[in-house]
Structure 1
Amino acid sequence: MNEDKQILYLKISIVLGLILLIVGHYILSYSELPQTMGIQGLILGGACMAFGIIFSLPTKMYLTFLLVKRETDKAPHLANIKKLNKKEK
């Protein structure tokens, strides 16, 4: 899998996670679902929020690492500066 496709999948995962977080918050805060369903309604809202966090947070961290790596690879002048700093030491 090439890097562009991987970044696309990570961005989709982040959006899915944020949507799940919003849906979970809506279920718990604004809908009457927890009152009508009881504990199952609370579990449903909490599960949406939990899976939203699982989908969004780790992928944000990994996507940030990939984008930083891509930027450093595309900037050859930074590589030259790093080489000069190593020679000075």
Structure 2
Amino acid sequence: MTEAQTLRLLKIIMLCGISLLIFGHYLWSGLKLHETMGVNGIILIGLCCALGLILSLPTKIYLTLLLMKREAERKASAEQQKPHN
């Protein structure tokens, strides 16, 4: 799998995680699922939020590290292209 494909996959996973977090919040505040379903509703909301966090956090860390690596490579190539006096 190439780096571009890995990045695309991680971005999709991160968006799914954020979507699950938003969906869990909607279930809690919009539908008030915890009031209508009781404990089962709370468990469902908790699962949505937990899975959303699990999916969103590691990919953000990996993407941050990858962007830092690219920035270091750009700075290194800019230093090599500078004429030395």
TM over 0.5: yes
CA deviation profile, 1:51-83 (whole Å, cap 9, x unmatched):
1111111110101111221232344124x4xxx
Aligned to 1:68: 68
Q: Name the Cα RMSD after superposition.
A: 1.4
1:2 equivalent in structure 2: 2
**TM-score where L is the length of structure 1:** 0.79
The AA in structure 2 aligned to 1:72 is A
The residue number in structure 1 matching 2:43 is 43
Q: Percent identity?
A: 48
TM-score computed with the length of structure 2 as normaliser:
0.82
How many residue pairs end up in the alignment?
A: 79
What residue is the counterpart of 1:58 in the other structure? 58
Q: What is the match of residue 83 of structure 2?
A: none
Q: Which runs of 5+ in 2 are unaligned?
A: 81-85
What is residue 19 of structure 1 aligned with on the other side?
A: 19
Q: Which runs of 5+ in 1 are unaligned?
A: 81-89
Moved over 4 A (4+): none
